[in-house]
Amino acid sequence: MPYITVSTEKSNEVKISYADYGEGKPVILLHGWPLSHRMWEKQITALTQAGYRVIAPDRRGFGESYKPWNGYDYDTFAKDINILITELNLHDVALIGFSMGGGEIARYIGTYGSERISKIVLMSAVTPYLLKSDDNPDGVDKSVFDNMLSGLMADRPAFLHQFTKNFVNWDTDGKEILSQESIQHAWDIAVWASPKAATDCVTAFSSTDFRADLAKFDVPTLVMHGDADQIVPFEVSGQRTHEAIEGSELVVIAGGAHGITYTQPEKVNFALLEFLNK
């Protein structure tokens, strides 16, 4: 995979890796926590076959990208994406972000605008603001994220094993849809992430307020979310994101877990291509 230098740390270059497949209008896929571009396997195939150029970076600290000690905040993530888009000289880009990748898109638009962007998809996204606070009473209690951090610090592999099950609602209908090997595959991706990146990103996606960023969206936007999401509940995120972005479209995947790219890829791909082909 090719690399692009995005910053330095202690005089050493920090580089992010990216997959680049197909020809046509560019689509950038931004993965969720704590995965890599490999979570998009079925979407990459569908999009390239439909005539799109698919660019799927690994976020700093994850996948095959460099794993510095610092830089796991949304201002830095947005800057990294801006460098990728600029270095590859991309225009008319469709940005698709899953979970914390949706937050990257929000901060990118809020900071750099939409001059190079044609469409946006926010899928199972952490927007508009997850953390419960005085001015966000419908958010998620801080104790949930504190428990995530405690689990990661105590036994990261074991925590990620349970997280990948929750990611696909394994204990309800997930095990009827997916194989045990697919769960193992997701764990293999997740455990490869930098431990520092994994913990810092929990703080980043739980405490970053994207409401002002969403107010700057001015291109066609699709919000896609499963209504049985156990990780980022639809009522807290997808529904509120749709309401916050004027003119946005909403696709609710009935019975959909957080990891709808794993559990219901056909429905996800159909909705993506229908939106992108308009």
pLDDT tens profile 103-144: 999 999 999 999 999 999 999 999 999 999 999 999 999 999
pLDDT for 238 equals: 98
Q: How far is CA 186 from the centre of its chain?
A: 15
**Would you give the DSSP letter of residue 78?**
H
Identify the H or E element spanning 53: strand 53-57
Under a CB-based contact definition with an 8 Å cutoff, are residues 13 and 67 in contact?
no
pLDDT for 168 equals: 96
Tokens 């994207």 — which residue?
Answer: 210
pLDDT tens profile 199-228: 999 999 999 999 999 999 999 999 999 999
What is the bridge-based pairing of β-strands 12-21 and 3-9?
antiparallel
Under a CB-based contact definition with an 8 Å cutoff, are residues 99 and 124 in contact?
yes
Q: Output the six-digit token pair for 259.
A: 């990891």
Tokens 């692009």 — which residue?
Answer: 4
Nearest-Å Rg of the Cα atoms of the chain is 17
232-242: b (≥16 Cβ within 10 Å) or e: bbbebbbbbbb
d(CA 40, CA 46): 10
d(CA 262, CA 41): 9
CATH class of residue range 3-276: alpha beta
Can you give the residue ranges of every domain in the chain?
A: 3-276
Percent of the chain with pLDDT over 70: 100
**Would you give the DSSP letter of residue 37?**
G
What is the three-class DSSP state of 95? strand
pLDDT for 173 equals: 86
pLDDT for 160 equals: 97
pLDDT tens profile 241-264: 999 999 999 999 999 999 999 999
Task: Work out the pLDDT band at 41, boundaries 50, 70, 90.
Answer: very high
Nearest to 213 by CA among 126, 135, 154: 126
**AA identity, residue 77:** F
pLDDT tens profile 148-205: 999 999 999 999 999 999 999 999 988 899 999 999 999 999 999 999 999 999 999 9
Residue 136 has, within 13 A of its CA and on its CB side, a CA count of 21
Instruction: Indicate which residues carry an active-site annotation.
Output: 99, 229, 258
> Cis ω on the peptide bond leading into residue 57 (within 30° of 0)?
no
pTM summary value: 0.97
Q: What is the 3-state secondary structure (H, E, C) of 212-226?
A: HHHCCCCCCEEEEEE
Percent of the chain with pLDDT over 90: 98
pLDDT tens profile 62-109: 999 999 999 999 999 999 999 999 999 999 999 999 999 999 999 999
Average pLDDT over residues 45-67: 98
